[in-house]
A = this chain, B = another copy of it.
Amino acid sequence: MNVDGTPYRTLWLAEPGCVRIIDQAQLPHRFAFLDLRTPEDMCAAIRRMNLRGAGLIGAAAAWGVYLAALRHADAPDFDARMRAEADALLATRPTAKNLEWAVRRMERALAPCLSPTERRDVAGRAAQEISDEDADFGRRMGQHGLALIREIAARNGGRPVNVLTHCNAGWLGFIDYGSALAPAYAAFDAGIPLHVWVDETRPRNQGASLTAWELGHHGVPHTLVPDNAGGHLMQHGKVDLVFVGSDRVTANGDVANKIGTYLKALAARDNRVPFYAVFPSSTIDWDLADGVREIPIEQRDPDEVRTATGWDEEAGRVATVRLCPPATPAANYGFDVTPARLVTGLVTERGIAPATREGLRALYADLHAP
């Protein structure tokens, strides 16, 4: 998508052996890049959240495997070394399914008996394929979601369609286009009047820092609200539909996403507002059924809850401020699970399915031979 008129992806191969990313840890206060040259660089970038988002974590892990393949291509114990590198990548973030999916796909690409040169080539091509597919899937999800926005726009008689979103499942969370925001971009680009309510998404504020930033740079009308506001907005008819992303979807349609998503799904149900999860098929965990019980939920540093980071105008720098007394303990669960019963539909690169086992299987019948 565009940053001040220039099209960008979130991650690209700058030169052989050098993966360049938009450094999201510096947004929205500074638009800067970060060069990653080793698998350790990539693990650190994922763990420190210089890049984040379901799709982007997947693509980044693929490029991590590529960097590992460059390093170990000549080693006689290539497979063993690559397994260790893969394990390190898999350990960076536990909830996102896309990460595991991408690493396994890279492993399959590198599984045949290959020469050192072939290993380097295959790894680069496979990682690029995952990147391109992620961007293409974003575009497709946007088109499928656009149909839902069009329907509402047709009923609204010129009143802007009000979308609410939580966290950042925009293009910054993928290689391009995004998942939850892809329909909003598609609608905006198609000239449909549209407004996005942006949950700030504590504790890391990825709504305030990333979603507001990317919508603003693309020109999409939006308003930042506290995570507490969505219920009130829905009670008063100010939300036409909710689009959220996902980090892992079970085979029966339970949706893990940034903590707080479940609360918005409950409010949507209580106010008859359609609630859609938008994600590529790489997010689906076909092995899990009960999301609340089975999806591992990352617990992060409590200091993220105890503090907030932003721009200190007075000091002219980014600062971190503590919001609570010095000794206050905090808990920091990264995700929650929205049960399928609260989800109006699942939007994937192949179309829109009901949030049921049958719905998902019908879209992906080829992956599930009877």
Contacts and interface: CB of A to CB of B under 8 A. Distances in A.
A330 B262 contact: no
Interface in A188-233: 200-203, 205, 208-209, 212-213, 216, 222-233
A325 interface: yes
Contacts of A331: 223-225, 229
A235 B295 CA distance: 13
A116 interface: no
Contact of A226 (B202, B270, B327, B335): B202
Interface stretch (A241-249, A313-321, A346-354): A313-321
A173 to B, nearest CB: 17
B216 A327 contact: yes
Given A226-B202, A292-B235, A319-B314, A213 B325 contact: yes
B319 A312 contact: yes
A315 B327 CA distance: 19
Given A307-B310, A310-B321, A328 B202 contact: no
Contact of A311 (B227, B229, B322): B322
A335 B232 CA distance: 8
Stoichiometry (number of copies) = 2
Which of A258, A318, A320: most chain B CB closer than 10 A? Answer: A320
Contact of A267 (B202, B223, B263, B297): B263
A84 interface: no
Contacts of A236: 292
Contacts of A325: 28, 212-213, 216
Contact of A321 (B226, B270, B321): B321
Chain A contact patch, size range: 35 or more
Contacts of A314: 319-320
Given A267-B266, A324-B208, A336-B235, A202 B224 contact: no
A309 interface: yes
A337 interface: yes
A270 B266 contact: yes
21 contacts: A213-B324, A216-B328, A222-B329, A225-B331, A225-B332, A227-B228, A228-B258, A228-B260, A230-B263, A231-B266, A235-B336, A236-B292, A262-B267, A263-B266, A308-B310, A308-B321, A308-B323, A309-B321, A310-B321, A312-B321, A319-B319
A130 interface: no
Given A227-B228, A229-B331, 17 more contacts: A202-B226, A202-B228, A208-B306, A213-B324, A213-B325, A222-B329, A223-B329, A223-B330, A224-B329, A224-B330, A225-B305, A228-B259, A228-B263, A231-B336, A314-B319, A318-B321, A321-B321
Contact of A202 (B200, B306, B315, B332): B200
B312 A320 contact: yes
A269 B65 CA distance: 45
Given A226-B305, A325-B28, A232 B259 contact: yes
